Amino acid sequence: MSTLEFTALTGLVSIAAGLLGALTGLGGGVVIVPVLTLLFGVDIHYAIGASLVSVIATSSGAAAAYLREGWSNIRVGMFLEIATCCGALAGAFLVAILPVRAITVIFGVVLLWSAWASTRPKRERVDASGQVDRIAAFFRMDGSYPSPAGPRHYRAHNIPGGFLIMLFAGILSGLLGIGSGALKVIAMDRVMRLPFKVSTTTSNFMIGVTAAASAGVYLHRGYIDPGLAMPVMLGVLAGSLAGAKLLGGVRTPVLRWVFAAVIVALAVEMLYSGVRGTL
């Protein structure tokens, strides 16, 4: 395969990954890393490095829009970024210690969990009641988001629990090159009891910062190849923008099950390759 053919195929696959990631809310990194590794034979370290660059690009554009429209909670996001960035740095350093087989198996397990998470029904919840969290009150994390009836107020809960989950999400992001958006959303939606739309938009703001923290380590070790990162970044960005426009007219439940089936197939192959040591 020539360089031009490889670049073109990588770009097309990245567009599909970004499209699926945007429509399901899991991000393109969940798809692009196993595809580059299994189908194109790219070393998993370079695949992760390219994925991190694409996560930074796709997060930056959407995050600005969400902040401008008043959906993201900037105080919650910046506080939790302390945990995710520390975790991302730890995950990036673990890459040099763990063997490729271990990283592959971990990725396979995360893919299976992502497939399960993508099929779970999402619910909108506004919680402005309950005991006041001292940390949330000190940092003024309670907020509101726009709705047809006017601003809807909510209250943040269980900040320490969300902080611990964010630390683990950061480790996975730095180790596997994914945004860990599903885990971040679960931390804010299920543990901190923020409204789901606030959780998803704040997560989108956070994943770019988290990826940037670990991308520096990958760049220092030479795991970010511009010839690979460029088509991946442009493809995932184009796919995610297209997915955002198509989201309203797509039957999301059907799409989520199709996406889950693809992810399960990739997970099984990653686990098999990791156990056999063929990567």
- Give the DSSP per-residue string, 204-242: HHHHHHHHHHHHHHHHHTT---HHHHHHHHHHHHHHHHH
Pairing label, strands 152-154, 143-145 = antiparallel
pLDDT value of residue 129: 57
Rounded Cα gap, residues 93 and 59, in angstroms: 23
Question: Which two tokens mark 156?
Answer: 């943040």
Rounded Cα gap, residues 58 and 240, in angstroms: 7
Cα torsion angle, 64, 184, 76, 132, sign: positive
Rounded Cα gap, residues 67 and 60, in angstroms: 11
Strand-pairing partners, residue 145, are 152
Most distant CA pair in the chain: distance in Å?
A: 62
pLDDT value of residue 87: 94
pLDDT value of residue 71: 82
Question: Which two tokens mark 256?
Answer: 């989520």
pLDDT in tens, the chain (279 residues): 788 899 999 999 999 888 877 666 566 777 888 889 988 999 999 999 999 998 888 777 667 777 777 888 999 999 999 999 999 999 999 988 899 889 889 988 888 887 787 676 655 555 555 567 889 889 899 998 888 888 889 999 999 999 999 999 899 889 888 877 778 888 898 889 898 888 878 887 888 888 888 898 899 999 999 999 999 999 988 887 787 677 556 565 666 677 678 778 878 888 888 888 776
Contact criterion met (CB below 8 Å) for 35 and 21: no
Q: Where are the domains of the chain?
A: 3-95+122-252
Give me the DSSP letters along 66-121. HHHHT-S-HHHHHHHHHHHHHHHHHHHHHTTTS-HHHHHHHHHHHHHHHHHHHTSP
pLDDT value of residue 149: 82
Q: Which residues, at least 6 apart from 127, have a Cβ–Cβ distance to it below 8 Å?
A: 154, 155, 157, 193, 194, 195
Count Cα atoms within 13 angstroms, Cβ side, for 199. 29
